[in-house]
Amino acid sequence: MTRIVGYVPGAYDMFHIGHLNILRRAAQECDRLIAGVVTDEVLERAKGRPPIVPLAERLAIVGSMDCVDEVVTDVSSDKVVMWERLGFDVLFKGDDWKGTEKGDRLEADLGARGVRVHYFPYTVHTSSTALRRLITGT
C-alpha cells in the first residue's frame, strides 16, 4: 500500500483560521502530513519584515495540531530543498499562488520530481498581513 506524504509550508505567524483551514484540509488529502514552519530569516527575506511570533513558538503551535503528524523547520524558500530532505508526494498551498509566476515555478520544479502541488481556497477575510496591519498600523 502506497502512503501519500503531504507537505504544507508556511510562516504560521499569528496563527489564525486560514492556517487551521489549510492544515485540516491538507490532512484529509494525505496519509501523513508534515508541516514546515519557515525560519525567521527566510520569512524576513520573503516578506521584507520579521515575524511577530518567533520560530520556536510557531513550531510549538503548529506541532500541537492533531492533524499534523510532524513539524519541521523550513530552511529555504526553494521547496525542492525541503523535498530533497523529506521526500513528500504532494505540496499544499493556498490558491493565491495558483497561476502566479512563483506558483508556476513551484509546480514546474516539483513536477519535475514527481511531486504535485494541490491548492486550497485562500481564506481571504483573515490573513497574517491583515492582522499585522491591525495591530501595528503598518
pLDDT in the model for residue 14: 87
Classify the phi-psi angles of 113: left when phi > 0, otherwise alpha if psi is within -120 to 50, otherwise beta.
alpha
pTM for the full predicted model:
0.87
Cell numbers representing residue 1 in the block: 500500500
pLDDT in the model for residue 138: 60
Q: Mind listing the pLDDT tens digit for each residue in 62-94?
A: 999 999 999 999 999 899 999 999 999 999 998
pLDDT in the model for residue 49: 86
Q: Mind listing the pLDDT tens digit for each residue in 20-66?
A: 999 999 999 999 999 999 999 999 998 888 899 999 999 999 999 99
pLDDT in the model for residue 96: 86
Q: Mind listing the pLDDT tens digit for each residue in 79-136?
A: 999 999 999 999 999 888 899 899 999 999 999 999 999 999 876 555 555 555 655 6
Three state DSSP letters for 28-94: HCCCEEEEEEECHHHHHHHHCCCCCCCHHHHHHHHHCCCCCCEEEEECCCCHHHHHHHHCCCEEEEE
